[in-house]
Amino acid sequence: SLLNYSNIISTENVTNVSIRVKAAGAYEDITTTNTSADTYQLLFQINGSINVSLTDLNGSTANWDRINFTPLINDSPTNIFIQNNWSTVVIKSIVFNSSIAEFITNNNSYYGEVEFNFNNTGGNEFWWIVDTADVSSRTNISVCTAAFTSTTTTPCFNYTKNGRTIVYVPHFSVVVAVNDTVAPTINITYPNSNQTVGMFIPNITVSPDAVSCKYTFNFSTSNQTMAKTGNVCVGQTEALKNNNAVVGYNITFSVEDGAGNVRMTVFNFNVSDTTVPNNAGGLAISSSPSTTTATVTVSGVNESVNVTVFYGTAAGTLTSGTGMETDFNSSQSVSISSLSASTLHYYNVTICDYNGNCVKNGTYNFTTSAAASTSSSTSSSSSGGGGGGTVETTAPTVTSSTSRVWDAIASGATTTLTVGKDTIAVDSVAFTAAADLKSAGLTVGVLDKNPASEAPADAAYQYLEIKSSNIGTAAVKDIQIAFKVPISWVDGQSAKKEDITLYRYTDGAWTALPTTYASSDGTYYYYTATTPGFSYFAIGTKKGEATPAPEETPSTPEQPTAEKPGAASTASTGTQEESAKKSSVGIWIIVAAVALIIVVALAILRQKRQNV
């Protein structure tokens, strides 16, 4: 069957077939003495322009009775699929039909060679498609760095004489030469030409060869990177006001492939959003009350909205307070504080979209829990000593908070949660996504007390909790927290503005974070700090550096205290001995003084007698 194989081949492209045997490291024509134990090369010469061969073929692993495969040159269905799938131009393709697997499996029993009559200049590339059933996955072949054998697993090519190129592949399926100078394709899903929702997420479908997608509005904003999953690129939530069709908006999508080919598409559209959110239903409203606070959650909204909650203790007059979240998102959490414990509260919810279309939902209610009880214990002794006490404390309560959930954040994009509440010292939290994020959320809340037993600083201005949802520990980086502290508070601590530090609670201890003074407006000092993650935080003065010097206080007369008899006796004896010593010293001083006076008097008297 070896000798008859050339007669079996039936393709108009193949002009010659040779079966050669390996001898002394080179291939030569077979003879009748060759057996399947030899090593062979099957060479197909095609129209004098392409040579295709199965090289180093282990004759003992081949099924010579199934030698009925055929190489197809420029197979039309394959070429069309490659060009549509990869936005490229096919120069030459070699496809082996599935019958080759019946002759020999892909088990290191041979390797393939394709000799093209051109090289890869001018944008030409050589690709290897591993599986003929899936041409959506391909390997861009590079220059060989070592000799190719039947055990080599990565394809490569070498230049040869007369501008020809030999491509080596681990096994045959599809080898194709292309000219990749065609840019990727773009099909726009959102926005629509007449966008009836003012907040939307740009969405496009691209060809598989695309590696990056970006967009910009009205030729003026900076490029926004899109998250790419498969053939779909998704941007961030955008908010546009209503306009008329004459003025309109435009969005420019820019898509690039691995060869640097860029496709730019400009799409004109207008926004006419006059429909209230969730006009078709599906809105979900829930509450989570505690003792003096509650969180009202709004979800299932069909577009990004802000939320206002009116609440009170009477269903007909909800005027006791108002809670708001104005950062526009498809899910919102509104925090309500200063509530009465063990009390039934009523509330309603108004949601408004970016273009001011609002709808008020029905009246709901919740009951706050009972206030936590405290207990104390004292101890005394028969000797009249003072007693000490312990107080049971509850966990810290969030007194004010703000939250946001992002529908999608692309890897590498920097995102900021702007707080905008006077009750919260944090102005913003910014972070860079280290991975594509979906439904990622952040909440910044103020705590009513220290969440830990250890004090973080000499004086703390505010305790905070920053927590995330759908954000893994390694999914964010470069976290920046911007905050402010009243100048009056800093002065009240006898501290300097450089003494203010942000602390993070982790692993059971407070840790000072790198904190930088930024500016002042005469009322506040503004700072930025970097943190490796989210947790409890405290804003305070540096330990041991901002403590004012202690003031002198007048001494206070000792108050008499009851003493044990033994102790009183000992004290009395000591006092008497000390008094006796003092008296003895005083007597000797008096004696010395009298003796001195006498000596002086006698000297004066003697002088007078001599003068007489």
The token duo for 289 is: 């009350």
Residue 371 phi/psi, 5-degree rounding, is: -65, 145
What per-residue string of b and e applies to 113-139 under the rule 16 or more CB within 10 Å gives b?
Answer: bbbbeeebeeebbbbbbbebeebeebe
Q: Does domain 398-546 have CATH number 1.20.120?
A: no
Q: What is the pLDDT of residue 431?
A: 94
- Nearest 5°: phi and psi at 454? -90, 140
Beta-bridge partner residues of 206? 186
Instruction: Provide the pLDDT for residue 547.
Output: 39
Q: Helix, strand or coil for residue 159?
A: strand
351: tokens are: 């949601």
Location of structure tokens 């037993």: 453
Sign of CA dihedral 429, 435, 437, 441: negative
What pLDDT score was predicted for residue 500? Answer: 95
Q: What CATH fold (topology level) applies to the domain 275-370?
A: Immunoglobulin-like (2.60.40)
Side-chain half-sphere exposure of 346, counting CA atoms within 13 A: 11
Cβ proximity of 265 and 253 under 8 Å? yes
Which residues are paired to 349 by β-bridges? 309
186-271: CATH number = 2.60.40.650
**Whole-number pLDDT of residue 523:** 93
Q: Does the bond joining 155 to the residue before it have cis omega, within 30 degrees of 0?
A: no
Domain residues of the chain, as ranges? Answer: 5-179, 186-271, 275-370, 398-546
For residue 143, the surrounding DSSP H or E stretch is strand 142-143
The pLDDT score that the predictor gives to residue 502 is: 96
In 3D space, the residue among 33, 37, 39 whose CA is nearest the CA of residue 19 turns out to be 39
pLDDT computed for residue 148 by the predictor: 92
Q: In 470-591, where do the E strands start and end? A: 476-486, 500-506, 509-512, 515-520, 524-531, 536-541
275-370 matches 186-271 in CATH topology: yes
Question: Which residues fall within 8 angstroms of residue 522, CB to CB, at 6 or more apart?
Answer: 487
Per-10-residue mean pLDDT, the chain, length 612? 47 68 76 70 77 86 78 85 82 82 80 84 82 79 90 90 86 88 90 88 91 88 86 89 74 90 92 79 80 86 85 77 72 84 88 86 85 47 34 70 82 88 92 88 90 89 92 89 95 92 91 94 95 94 53 40 39 43 56 68 60 50
Q: What is the DSSP string of 189-216?
A: EES-SEESSSEE--EEEE-TTEEEEEEE
Q: What is the chain's Cα-based Rg?
A: 44
